[in-house]
Structure 1
Amino acid sequence: MTIKILADSACDLSEHYYNGFDIEMVPLTVHINGNDYKDSIEITPKTVYDALRNGGHAKTSQVSPQTFKTIFTSYAQTNQPLVYLAFSSQLSGTYQTAKMIEQEIKEEYPDAPIHVLDTKCASLGYGLVVLHVAKLAKEGAQLNEIIHAATDHAQHMEHIFTVDDLEYLHRGGRVSRTAAFVGSLLKIKPLLHVDDGKLIPLEKIRGSKKVLKRMLEVMEKRGANFENQVIGISHGDDLERAEQLASLIKEKFNVKEVIIEMVGAVIGAHSGPGTIALFFLNKPYK
C-alpha cells in the first residue's frame, strides 16, 4: 500500500505540488481583522501582505486536535501508512498536538501505521523536505526509507533569510521595539537562519542591495553539491527580488532546479512583506 504523506500549510508549497505528488495538506489558521481563515484554503498570502501594508495586524494559530483526530482516525481504520512531516516544533505547537493525538489514536488502534516527525524546518525549506519524501513515496519507497530520508533532509536543510521591515518580527516577539526602531532608522537588514528549528540572527547588513550578495556568500560557504540539488526561494510578495536571487544562483552555482514560491500566510503574518528566504542542503545530495 502506498505511503501517504501529510504536511501542514507552513510548508508553503503550491497546490499543484499537492496534486502532483498526492500530498495531503492540513491548514493552520490565520486571524486577521477579526476574522479567522484556513491558511491557503480560505485566504491567500497576498491578502495578508496587503492587510499588513495597510496597518492591519495578523495572528496565527496551530492545527486543532480535532482536525488531527479526524485525519489520523481515518488512516488508522483503513490501516494505510501515514507520515506527517510537521512544521518546526520551535515555531508552532502543531507538532506537539499531532504527537498527542497520535498517541491517543494508538491506544484504540495499537497497530495504526501513523508516524509524526518534527522537521524543525519552515516555509519552503520545510516544503523541499516534504516534496523530496513525497517523490519517494510515489516511487514506492518503504516506510523506513521515507523516515530516514525525511530526517536526513530536514537535518541538513539550511534556511537563510532577510526581512524588509523589522517591525513585523517585533510584533511576533522576535526582536525588541528598540531594535526594530533603530533598524528601520538605519536601514539595517537582518540576515537570519534557522538552527535546531529556532530563528537565530546571523548578522546585520546596511542596505538592501548588499543582502542578496551576502546570501550567496553564505550559500557558497555552507552548501555543497548544488548541481544535484533543488534550491528553494520564498518571498513576501516580492517576486522581482526572488527572481533576481534565482538568477544569481543559477549563474554562480549551476544548480539543478530553483523553486520559487510566496511565503505563505501563516509565516508571512510574522515576517511581513518583502521577506526573501533561501533554502539549500549543506551536505552532498544523496
Structure 2
Amino acid sequence: MRIGLVVDSACDLPLKYLQANDIHILPITVRIGEELRVDHRDEAETLAFLHSHVAERGAEAETTPFTVEQTTALFLDRLVIDYDHVFCLTITKERSGVYENTQQASFAILNGYKERRAAAGIVTPFAMRVIDTQNLFAAAGVGAVEAVRLRNAGEGVGKIRARLENLALHTHGYMVPRDLYYLRARARKKGDRSVSLFSAALGSALDIKPVLRCYRGHTSPAAKLKGFEPAVEKLFAFTAERVRAGLMTPTLSLSYGGELAEMRALPGYDALREVCAEHNVEVFESIMSLTGMVNVGKGAVVVGFAAENAPVFEG
C-alpha cells in the first residue's frame, strides 16, 4: 500500500527532510497589510521576511489555513492518485483551523476520489486520516518523523494510526519567547488574553521570560525565569534529562525564530546535543515557519519531544 504523509506549514521540520521523505505541505496563508504570502516552509523566504520591514508589523498579521475547497482540490488533483492512504497531521486544533478544515474536506475527498483514480487506471479504494498532533511548531514534527519511520519499516495503516494518535497524547512542546510585548500584541490580535499588558510590561522591565508549555492542545506558562539565555539554558538542561530518562521515540525537534547559528550559540545547546548523541536520539533543527514566527515573534526557541510520565518543567 502506498502511504502518503501531509503536514501543515506550521509543523517545524527541515525542508530538506520533508522533501527527502515525500511529506507534502498543507500551506497556511499569511497576510500583513497588502502583502500576502503563502507559507510553503521556504527557509530563505522566511529569513527574508524576518529581515525586512514587514516583520516589524508581524503582530498585525492574519494567518489563514487552506479553505475546505482548497484542501479538497489539493487532494483530488494529486494525492488520491499518488497514494492509497494518507495521514494528515495538523497542529493543535485549539490554536488553528487547519484540523477542522481538513476534517471537513475529507468528506468531499472520500466522495470524489473514485472518478479521479479511475481516470488514472486505479480501481482500489482510497482512504485518509486527519490526526491532531495536539501541539505546535517543532513539537508537531515529532509525530511526522515517527510516521516516516513506521512507513519505511513497512508497518500497516492500523499500526501507524494507533501509534500516531497515542504519541499525540504524550508529546510535549516548550517555548521561550524573546519579546513579551510582541507576544501580547499578537495574542490580542487573535483574541487571546493569556498575556496581559501588565505582565508584558513587568516581564520586559525585569527581563522575566516565561517558558510556555503545550500539552494535549492546552498552552500554559510552565515557569517564569529571569533572562532569555538563562531560561533557554535551563530548558535545554531539562530536555537533556528527559532524553536520559528515555523518550517514546528517538527524536528531538528544535526550531528557532531566526538563523540557526544563533540558536546553536545559546548556552546549554552543545550539552544537549552531546546527551542526544550518547542516547542515539536524532535531533531535527529548523528555522521556525513564517506562520509560527508571526504568531510568537522572532528569536523564540521551541523544543518538542514525546515522553510518558514526564514531569513539567519548573525552572
Q: What's the TM-score once normalised by structure 1's chain length?
A: 0.88
Tell me the equivalent position of 1:117: 131
Secondary structure in 2 aligned to 1:149?
helix
Tell me the equivalent position of 2:67: 64
Tell me the equivalent position of 2:302: 277
Supply the AA of the counterpart residue of 2:273. K
- Work out whether residues 242 and 260 of structure 1, in 8 Å CA contact, stay in contact via their aligned partners in 2: no
User: Does structure 1 residue 137 correspond to structure 2 residue 151?
Assistant: yes
- Work out whether residues 82 and 113 of structure 1, in 8 Å CA contact, stay in contact via their aligned partners in 2: yes
Taking the aligned partners of 2:83 and 2:240, their CA distance within structure 1 comes to 45
- Work out whether residues 235 and 274 of structure 1, in 8 Å CA contact, stay in contact via their aligned partners in 2: yes
Supply the AA of the counterpart residue of 1:60. T
Secondary structure in 2 aligned to 1:7?
strand
Taking the aligned partners of 1:72 and 1:167, their CA distance within structure 2 comes to 40
- Work out whether residues 2 and 82 of structure 2, in 8 Å CA contact, stay in contact via their aligned partners in 1: no
Tell me the equivalent position of 1:95: 99
Secondary structure in 2 aligned to 1:233?
strand
Taking the aligned partners of 2:248 and 2:67, their CA distance within structure 1 comes to 40
- Work out whether residues 76 and 114 of structure 1, in 8 Å CA contact, stay in contact via their aligned partners in 2: no
Secondary structure in 2 aligned to 1:159?
strand
User: Does structure 1 residue 230 correspond to structure 2 residue 251?
Assistant: yes
1:83-106, CA deviations, whole angstroms, 9 ceiling, x for partnerless residues?
111111011011001111112333
Supply the AA of the counterpart residue of 2:67. S
User: Does structure 1 residue 207 correspond to structure 2 residue 227?
Assistant: yes
Taking the aligned partners of 2:80 and 2:54, their CA distance within structure 1 comes to 44
Coordinate RMSD, CA, aligned: 2.6
What pairs with 1:1-286 in structure 2 (closer than 5 Å)?
A: 1-40=1-40, 44-51=45-52, 55-57=56-58, 58-74=61-77, 75-76=79-80, 80-108=84-112, 112-173=126-187, 174-219=194-239, 224-225=245-246, 229-243=250-264, 244=266, 245-252=268-275, 254-256=278-280, 257-283=282-308
- Work out whether residues 137 and 255 of structure 2, in 8 Å CA contact, stay in contact via their aligned partners in 1: yes
The answer to which of 53-62 and 128-137 deviates more is 53-62
1:97-144, CA deviations, whole angstroms, 9 ceiling, x for partnerless residues?
111111233345696411111111211211121122023223322101
Secondary structure in 1 aligned to 2:182?
helix
Give the direction of change, closer, same or farther, for the CA distance of 1:133–1:252 in structure 2 (3 Å limit).
closer
| Equivalenced residues, count | 284
- Work out whether residues 93 and 217 of structure 2, in 8 Å CA contact, stay in contact via their aligned partners in 1: yes
1:216-237, CA deviations, whole angstroms, 9 ceiling, x for partnerless residues?
3533565531597221111111
Taking the aligned partners of 1:168 and 1:105, their CA distance within structure 2 comes to 39
- Work out whether residues 5 and 88 of structure 2, in 8 Å CA contact, stay in contact via their aligned partners in 1: yes
How far 1:200 moved relative to its partner? 1.0
Supply the AA of the counterpart residue of 1:28. I
How far 1:7 moved relative to its partner? 1.0
- Unaligned 5+ segments in structure 1 are none
Secondary structure in 1 aligned to 2:10?
helix
- Unaligned 5+ segments in structure 2 are 115-124, 188-193, 310-315
Supply the AA of the counterpart residue of 2:100. Q
Q: What's the TM-score once normalised by structure 2's chain length?
A: 0.81
- Work out whether residues 87 and 120 of structure 1, in 8 Å CA contact, stay in contact via their aligned partners in 2: yes
Taking the aligned partners of 1:263 and 1:279, their CA distance within structure 2 comes to 13
Taking the aligned partners of 2:195 and 2:48, their CA distance within structure 1 comes to 25
- Work out whether residues 176 and 228 of structure 2, in 8 Å CA contact, stay in contact via their aligned partners in 1: no
Supply the AA of the counterpart residue of 1:275. A
Identity of aligned residues (%): 22
Give the direction of change, closer, same or farther, for the CA distance of 1:255–1:235 in structure 2 (3 Å limit).
farther
- Work out whether residues 76 and 112 of structure 2, in 8 Å CA contact, stay in contact via their aligned partners in 1: no
The answer to which of 11-20 and 102-111 deviates more is 102-111
